Amino acid sequence: MPELPEVETVRAGLEQLIIGKVIRQVKVHDSPKSFPNASADVNTFMIGAHIVTVRRRAKVLLIDLSTRYTLVIHLKMTGQLVFVGAQRFGAGHPTDSLVGELPDRSTRVTIAFNDDSHLYFNDQRKFGWIKLVPTVEVPSMPFMQTVGPEPLEATFTSQEFIGRFSRRANTSIKAALLDQTVIAGVGNIYADEGLWGAKIDPRRKVKDVTPQEFATLYTELREVMNVAIQKGGSTDKNYVNAEGKRGSYMDFARVFRREGQLCQRCGATIEKIKHVGRGTHFCPICQT
DNA sequence: CACTTGACCTGTCCGC
DNA sequence: TGCGGACAGGTCAAGT
């Protein structure tokens, strides 16, 4: 999925596009799994409500409604939230859009607003989901209870970062970075990119990473994710922002999907291996 | 509890 | 061209 920078890009886009809009209709297309409690609660808590806030926690989007209910949305691997204004195919139709006319066959849920604009939840692989939850109950959801701190918060320090890993001493540093209970929002792209920045081999055990290396990793990880947000995220295949447009971090990536190319730091050839079940990209010479 | 692996889905790409 | 297998940005539920 979309990792922290992608979800943040969608959040920021939606904030500009849907705040204040009134929900007229909700359609769950074919897969109840994409929106399990829709049939029971949509009519009561969504229709006629307006959008109050669009928040993010880790890789989860939170759309608060005026009914004091919240749409909790996880895009997982291939989820998209695409807003389409009332005159989508008018003169202003963007040429850099990755999506065609919506809904399409990956559309799982359509939310229609009363100005005839629409928000589409598309998800090719159906791993993603939407849940409608009372806003006050969001913090007690199991995921919210266990997820780690937001790494880009100004108050999140290098010391706290290092301390979060103590529990995972015997696993690899990459596996620990992907563990959402350690740090929120890091996924496969930014784990690989951050480890390249810190010159750490992704397979190294956590207990063998020095405090100095952790300090560098803290800085590099925050840097790559901030750069990624500036670039609108990474579009490898499916990811698009709230306007259906791609992100450009992949043009900047140093190792992710760059196997066979030369390391821009030492000139060695970037390798791709399988580690903890995930494609893992690294420089075999300067990451040790 | 820490750690690893497979499962959840659809689509695409690659080798035979 | 067809077919089988591997693989894809993320979590979970199981197993050890």
Residues within 7 Å (Cβ) of strand C:
A 1-3, 6, 58-59, 74, 76-78, 125, 127, 143, 178, 180, 187-189, 233-239, 272, 274, 277-279
Per-residue pLDDT tens listing for chain A (288 residues):
699 999 999 999 999 999 999 999 999 998 789 999 888 888 899 999 999 999 999 999 999 999 999 999 999 999 999 999 997 655 444 556 788 899 999 999 999 999 999 999 999 999 999 999 999 999 999 999 999 999 999 999 999 999 999 999 999 999 999 999 999 999 999 999 999 999 999 999 999 999 999 999 999 999 999 999 999 999 999 999 999 999 999 999 999 999 999 999 999 999 999 999 999 999 999 999
What pTM was estimated for this model as a whole?
Answer: 0.96
Has A3 been annotated as catalytic? yes
Positions in chain C where some atom is under 7 Å from a protein CB = 7-12
* Secondary structure string (H, E, C) spanning A55-83: EEECCEEEEEECCCEEEEEECCCCEEEEE
Has A199 been annotated as catalytic? no
Residues 216-245 of A with CB under 7 A from strand B: none
CA distances to A29, A36, A45, A143, A282 from A33, rounded to whole Å, are 11, 5, 19, 18, 36
Helix, strand, coil percent values for chain A (each to nearest 5): 30, 25, 45
* CA nearest to A18, candidates A66, A64, A51: A51
Has A278 been annotated as catalytic? yes
